[in-house]
């Protein structure tokens, strides 16, 4: 009898493995035949486009496409996945790991380069270079002919990718910096001191060289004017050998700011956390940064700046003033981005005067620092004339992401009510463009971050003589349009369309455009438009991309208890028959209806643990309802929205109300956890990397955001809008862990144990709560991954198939997964 039982078990295991492998083979076959189009580059005059075919399992196929109808057949490059750029309209360079290809678009000449370290293109001049793994640097002309080569290259070239390129090389005992932009190398600087690094300035007029002194190994700066050939070696002291030097242009009159950063190491034996510390990130970095600054004039004379009160100085582009503030001085971690107390350091008098407090460090500068625009603590935009020091309040509190035009006459603001135009001279908003009902986004702003990414300090401008390119989205009609705006005159590029535009590229003159168009069951297409011509040109269609015209989806409309109008996308199963009943998988997060027009392909690298295309082709409805939050709190609001969304479809006879599953990841995982503790409408759940204990999370340190996490609840994604101390009931009542005994359907939990966004032990805590209450739960913990399992990793694939098996098991009653049987067919334990 035992032999028969073992044989039966072996046969069952074999059949399950066979079925699993058959399913995997079928899905991967389709993944190898479905792809997205990714635009990588557009030639300078818009005559050629380089696009990649992104299959889920590989990304090594490129297409070179002509935007002219006279050239129809695309050129394929297989084995390359990166664009290095076009050489005028004549040739293109593409690359992949350790190799590159030159392709002449007129003669079809093809050259393969192997064993490369770096390839660089100069689009305007039509030259390119190859740095190989032997540190030999070779420059080629536009026809692929070698011009010259240099050996003993140190590091990588510095380039603007248009017409300038520079290299550092060691020849004997000398270190030298060469200009390799032209037909032959030109020596700019040479010396016996070791050059540790060099970089091209933002203006492209200077090279900053950092040398290592022989006596004390400390760094010293060399400033090279590329145009005039003038070399400055400012003498700065005191400086230690551990200090890190950097150089910035102050304005356009030949003065510079040199910074020396000293890293004061913290004790590894004991960490001291102060209640007034605004730089808690330093515990992770294990050092405190101390900055010293020097002003260097046009002659090279260096003056130590009085910065005892300030941690940071920032160049504005204005020769008179730099911004001064202390990082962390006002940081209370109630918001993600700190407020900063700004002072102005007058470089002429070396005196400092207080300026204002900037909310959320939201500060924007014009091209040359003529104007400074910032949010004050009343959430008002304030414009300051840096010449007269006069300020004026712009009374528009819903505006965002300002952009100065080149001559500072106009400031453009994005908003949810069109593009707002502020006239600086008239001191008024005198235009509202691109549709008052549209949410706008400026696409071509030249925005340079002046601080780390957790500050919002930018130089935000338009380049000279160029128009503004604006995307305008209408969330009510699920459509978008694209405009060119010059001064206050708008011209349509793409008229309002329901198609989803994932990629949008443009030439330097902003007159020619290439973009992708897609919808749910139409093939992805590449389109080209010259703004001077009326019609767009379709230049490529993703034929054979498994487009199924029978696939259907529907927008569902409903209201939550606060009468907020919401939407949800309902995807129908393949070969839908209204006489049958189908299971439903509901995926939640926040707003999802804006993905209505996206084309879907199969793949592991879709949203983690969720593949709509695989589910609909397996006979499931898939439902993506929108969620918004109200006064009742995050979890209860999500529960309310999901209930109202289900109410909107519950009378459909073809939906099996007994076979509905709920899933979410990250914030959606938290919502799934909470709804599971308060609902009887679901047959199974999948929750990934979601919080379970809001109070513990609120009082935790988040190593992803480098801060205490309570800001996320009070002023972040959870939208509680009140501290825990002022409404403890609100936090308790929205914490899933407090109600885990109420879960009535099986739960699959998963997390990466290196997750620093949502602590993985939040998932463990919820598992323990369910385990203690004798609930059906399986938890998957991936030891070497973080918040999202790495793309194409074995673990991501493992989760992908476990998710499909979980839904089949509980929503289709396909009880053929041994790993689930081990939980569901166990002897139940009783707890006291």
Closest C-alpha among 407, 376, 408 to residue 394:
376
pLDDT of residue 31: 86
∠215-260-271 over CA atoms, to 5°? 105
Tokens 């999948």 locate to 686
Closest C-alpha among 65, 46, 58 to residue 105:
65
Residue 344 in tokens: 């102005």
Radius of gyration of the chain from Cα atoms?
30
Check whether 522 has a pLDDT greater than 90. Answer: no
Q: Kindly indicate the confidence band of residue 550, based on its pLDDT and cuts at 50, 70 and 90.
A: confident
Check whether 546 has a pLDDT greater than 70. Answer: no
Question: CA dist 786 to 427, 542, 707, 783, 798, Å?
Answer: 50, 34, 18, 8, 15
Residue 437 region, left (φ>0) first, then alpha (ψ -120 to 50), else beta? alpha
SS (H, E, C) 251-288: CCCCCEEEEEEEEEECCCCCCCCCCCCCCCHHHHHCEE
Which residues 6+ apart lie within 8 Å of 6 measured at CB? Answer: none
CA torsion through residues 625, 400, 468, 48, sign = negative
- Measured distance CA(832)–CA(830) in Å, rounded: 7
Number of H helices, E strands in the chain: 11, 56
Q: How many CA atoms lie within 13 A of 131 on its CB side?
A: 19
17 CB neighbour count, 10 Å cutoff: 11
Closest C-alpha among 395, 322, 330 to residue 365:
322
- Measured distance CA(657)–CA(361) in Å, rounded: 50
Asked if 324 contacts 312 with a C-beta cutoff of 8 angstroms, the reply is: yes
Check whether 831 has a pLDDT greater than 50. Answer: no
pLDDT of residue 328: 94
Question: CA dist 785 to 611, 703, 757, 779, 793, Å?
Answer: 20, 15, 12, 15, 10
Q: What is the pLDDT of residues 31-59, one digit of tens each?
A: 888 888 999 999 999 999 999 998 888 88
Mean pLDDT, to the nearest integer, of 429-438?
90
**Residues of the chain with pLDDT > 70: what percent?**
96
**Residues of the chain with pLDDT > 90: what percent?**
80
Q: How many CA atoms lie within 13 A of 790 on its CB side?
A: 9
Which residues 6+ apart lie within 8 Å of 752 measured at CB? Answer: 689, 760, 781, 782, 784, 785, 786, 787, 788, 789
Q: Kindly indicate the confidence band of residue 3, based on its pLDDT and cuts at 50, 70 and 90.
A: low
* E runs forming strands in 160-203: 165-171, 174-179, 186-191, 194-200
Which residues 6+ apart lie within 8 Å of 431 measured at CB? Answer: 419, 420, 421, 488
Supply the angle between the helices 667-676 and 634-647 in degrees, to the nearest 10.
70
Q: What is the pLDDT of residues 298-324, one digit of tens each?
A: 999 999 998 888 889 999 999 999 999
Tokens 């046969």 locate to 11
pLDDT of residue 713: 98
What string of DSSP letters covers 216-249? T--EEEEEEETTT--EE-----S--TT-EEEEEE
Name the average pLDDT for the chain: 92
pLDDT of residue 832: 46
CA torsion through residues 152, 156, 159, 162, sign = positive
* Stretch (H or E) spanning 417: none
Q: Kindly indicate the confidence band of residue 828, based on its pLDDT and cuts at 50, 70 and 90.
A: low
Closest C-alpha among 352, 309, 318, 177 to residue 248:
318
- Measured distance CA(436)–CA(267) in Å, rounded: 56
What string of DSSP letters covers 679-696? -SS-SEEEEES--S-HHH
Asked if 776 contacts 758 with a C-beta cutoff of 8 angstroms, the reply is: no
Q: What is the pLDDT of residues 552-583, one digit of tens each?
A: 999 999 999 999 999 999 999 999 999 999 99
pLDDT of residue 10: 52
Regarding predicted confidence, which is higher, 528 or 792?
Answer: 528
Q: What is the pLDDT of residues 114-141, one digit of tens each?
A: 999 999 999 999 999 999 999 999 999 9
- Measured distance CA(689)–CA(230) in Å, rounded: 57
26 CB neighbour count, 10 Å cutoff: 12
pLDDT of residue 506: 95
Question: CA dist 399 to 421, 575, 674, Å?
Answer: 11, 47, 35
**Model confidence, pTM:** 0.93
Give the single-character DSSP code of 401: E
Q: β-strands 565-571, 701-702: how paired? A: unpaired
* Stretch (H or E) spanning 31: helix 2-31
Give the single-character DSSP code of 262: E
Check whether 11 has a pLDDT greater than 60. Answer: no
Which residues 6+ apart lie within 8 Å of 80 measured at CB? Answer: 60, 62, 94, 95, 96, 99, 100, 101
29 phi and psi, to 5 degrees?
-60, -45
- Measured distance CA(473)–CA(494) in Å, rounded: 12
Closest C-alpha among 573, 563, 620, 564 to residue 591:
564
Which residues 6+ apart lie within 8 Å of 299 measured at CB? Answer: 232
Which residues 6+ apart lie within 8 Å of 63 measured at CB? Answer: 50, 51, 52, 53, 74, 75, 76, 77, 540
SS (H, E, C) 35-79: EEEEEEEECCCCCEEEEEEEECCCCCEEEEEECCCCCCCCEEEEC
Give the single-character DSSP code of 578: T
∠33-35-41 over CA atoms, to 5°? 140
Q: Cα torsion for 199, 200, 202, 208, to the nearest 10°?
A: 60
Check whether 827 has a pLDDT greater than 60. Answer: no
Q: 354-368, 762-776, 814-828: which range is least confident on average?
A: 814-828
Check whether 521 has a pLDDT greater than 50. Answer: yes
pLDDT of residue 625: 98
Regarding predicted confidence, which is higher, 407 or 21?
Answer: 407
Residue 584 in tokens: 């439903």
pLDDT of residue 709: 97
Tokens 């439902």 locate to 623
634 phi and psi, to 5 degrees?
-65, -55
Q: What is the pLDDT of residues 170-211, one digit of tens each?
A: 999 999 999 999 989 999 999 999 999 999 998 999 999 999
How are strands ordered across the β-sheet holding 287-296?
244-249, 256-265, 287-296, 302-304
Q: How far is CA 645 from the centre of its chain?
A: 30
Check whether 13 has a pLDDT greater than 80. Answer: no
Residue 35 in tokens: 């792809």
Mean pLDDT, to the nearest integer, of 264-293?
92
Residue 745 in tokens: 């359907």
- Measured distance CA(50)–CA(40) in Å, rounded: 6
Residue 547 in tokens: 């487009």
Q: Cα torsion for 429, 435, 440, 446, to the nearest 10°?
A: -60
Q: What is the pLDDT of residues 586-634, one digit of tens each?
A: 999 999 999 999 999 999 999 999 999 999 999 999 999 999 999 999 9
């Amino acid at each position: 009898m035992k032999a028969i039982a073992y044989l039966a078990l072996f046969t069952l295991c074999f059949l399950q493995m066979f079925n699993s492998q058959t399913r995997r083979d079928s899905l991967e076959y389709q993944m190898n035949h479905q792809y997205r189009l990714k635009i990588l580059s557009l030639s300078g005059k818009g005559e050629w486009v380089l696009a990649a075919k992104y299959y889920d399992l590989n990304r090594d196929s490129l297409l070179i496409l002509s935007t002219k109808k006279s050239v129809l057949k695309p050129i394929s490059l297989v084995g390359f996945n990166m664009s290095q750029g076009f050489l005028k309209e004549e040739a293109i360079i593409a690359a992949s790991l350790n190799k590159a290809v030159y392709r002449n678009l007129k003669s079809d000449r093809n050259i393969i380069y192997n064993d490369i370290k770096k390839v660089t293109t100069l689009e305007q001049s039509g030259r390119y270079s190859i740095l190989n793994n032997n540190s030999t640097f070779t420059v080629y002309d536009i026809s692929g002919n070698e011009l010259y080569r240099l050996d003993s290259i140190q590091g990588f070239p510095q380039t603007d990718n248009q017409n300038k390129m520079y290299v550092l090389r060691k020849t004997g005992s000398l270190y030298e910096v060469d200009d390799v932009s032209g037909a032959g190398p030109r020596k700019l600087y040479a010396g016996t001191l070791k050059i540790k690094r060099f970089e091209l300035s933002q203006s492209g007029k200077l090279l900053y060289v950092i040398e290592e002194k022989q006596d004390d190994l400390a760094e010293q700066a060399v400033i090279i004017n590329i145009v005039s050939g003038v070399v400055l070696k400012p003498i700065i002291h005191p400086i230690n050998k551990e200090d890190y030097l950097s150089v910035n242009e102050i304005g356009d009159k030949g003065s510079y700011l040199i910074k020396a950063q000293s890293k004061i190491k913290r004790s590894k034996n004991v960490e001291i956390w102060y209640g007034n510390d605004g730089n808690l990130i330093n515990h992770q970095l294990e050092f405190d940064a101390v900055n010293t600054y020097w002003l260097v004039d046009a002659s090279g004379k260096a003056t130590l700046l009085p910065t005892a009160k300030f941690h940071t100085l920032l160049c504005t582009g204005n020769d008179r003033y730099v911004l001064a503030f202390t990082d962390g001085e006002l940081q209370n971690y109630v918001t993600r981005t700190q407020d900063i107390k700004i002072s102005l350091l007058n470089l002429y008098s070396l005196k400092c005067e207080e300026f204002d407090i900037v909310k959320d460090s939201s500060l924007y500068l014009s091209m040359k620092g003529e104007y400074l625009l910032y949010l004050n603590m009343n959430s008002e935009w304030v414009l300051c004339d840096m010449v007269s020091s006069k300020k004026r309040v712009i009374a528009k509190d819903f505006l965002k992401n300002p952009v100065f035009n080149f001559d500072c006459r106009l400031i453009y603001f994005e908003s949810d009510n069109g593009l707002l135009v502020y006239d600086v001279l008239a001191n008024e908003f005198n235009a509202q463009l691109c549709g008052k009902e549209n949410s706008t986004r400026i696409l071509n702003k030249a925005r340079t971050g002046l601080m780390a990414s957790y500050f919002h300090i930018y130089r935000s401008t338009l380049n000279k003589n160029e128009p503004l390119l604006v995307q305008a989205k209408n969330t009510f009609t699920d459509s978008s349009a694209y405009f060119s705006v010059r001064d206050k005159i708008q011209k349509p590029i793409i008229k309002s369309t329901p198609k989803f535009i994932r990629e949008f590229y443009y030439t330097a003159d902003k007159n020619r455009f290439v973009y992708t168009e897609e919808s749910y069951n139409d093939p992805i297409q590449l389109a080209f438009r010259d703004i001077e011509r009326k019609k767009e040109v379709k230049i490529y269609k993703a034929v054979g991309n498994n487009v199924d015209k029978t696939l259907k989806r529907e927008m569902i409309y409903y209201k939550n208890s606060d009468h907020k109008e919401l939407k949800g996308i309902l995807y129908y199963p393949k070969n839908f028959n209204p006489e049958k009943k189908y299971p439903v998988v509901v995926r939640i997060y926040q707003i999802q209806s804006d993905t209505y027009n996206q084309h879907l392909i199969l793949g592991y690298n879709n949203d983690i643990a969720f593949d709509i295309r695989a589910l609909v082709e397996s006979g499931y409805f898939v439902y993506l309802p929108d969620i918004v939050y109200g006064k009742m709190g995050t979890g209860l609001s999500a529960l309310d929205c999901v209930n109202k969304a289900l109410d909107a479809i519950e009378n459909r006879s073809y939906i099996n109300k007994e076979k509905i599953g709920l899933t979410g990841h990250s914030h959606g995982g938290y919502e799934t956890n909470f709804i599971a503790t308060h609902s009887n409408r679901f047959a199974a759940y999948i929750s990934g990397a979601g919080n379970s204990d809001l109070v513990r999370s609120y009082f935790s340190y988040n190593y992803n955001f480098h801060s205490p996490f309570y800001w996320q609840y009070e002023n972040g994604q959870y939208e509680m809008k009140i501290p825990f101390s002022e409404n403890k009931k609100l936090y308790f009542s929205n914490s899933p862990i407090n109600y885990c005994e109420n879960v009535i359907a099986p739960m699959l939990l998963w997390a990466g144990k290196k997750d620093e966004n949502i602590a993985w032990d939040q998932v463990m805590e919820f598992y323990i709560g369910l385990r203690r209450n004798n609930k059906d739960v399986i938890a998957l913990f991936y030891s070497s991954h973080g918040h999202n399992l790495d793309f194409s990793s074995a673990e991501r694939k493992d989760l992908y198939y476990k998710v499909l098996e979980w839904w089949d098991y509980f929503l289709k009653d396909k009880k053929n997964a041994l790993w689930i049987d081990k939980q569901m067919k166990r002897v139940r334990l009783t707890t006291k």
